[in-house]
Structure 1
């Protein structure tokens, strides 16, 4: 005996068909998303490879192990007397 809130055989069949359709759409969407991510990843790798080709060539020609000079730079601001505003002297001095 069917309860009033329970779907009949046609409702169950429509539910299965709708579920299968959603499953197929989900798989299709994930395949498209995976393909887009793969193409974007290959493009990023190709861009990085292209931009570092000169550095790789230099490292092949001159391998590390040579003399490296390390240091630290400090920027010192120079102030000139002409940049300062001076007050006029009073007559009492």
Structure 2
């Protein structure tokens, strides 16, 4: 289960949200069937893909600038506490 922030230093975490609930994914144990999985392992590829696309379109961006852009463009979720969503839902 996601442990929302703030961190010990007061930082809001997570940085942003991405789809990660009930994602249809290949079953790694068989490589022959699909199943629905949830968690960071399902949401991280969405963020990594968004970051890769953004960097490919703007190769001079630093990793910090990519993160800043993704967070700036995220859509705040009104029914979720700031410490459980960070900047909001990934939007690219």
TM-score, normalised by the number of residues in structure 2? 0.24
Between structure 1 and structure 2, the one with the greater Rg is 1
Return the structure number with greater relative CO, CA threshold 8 A, min gap 6. Answer: 2
Which has more strand, going by share of residues? 2
TM-score, normalised by the number of residues in structure 1? 0.23
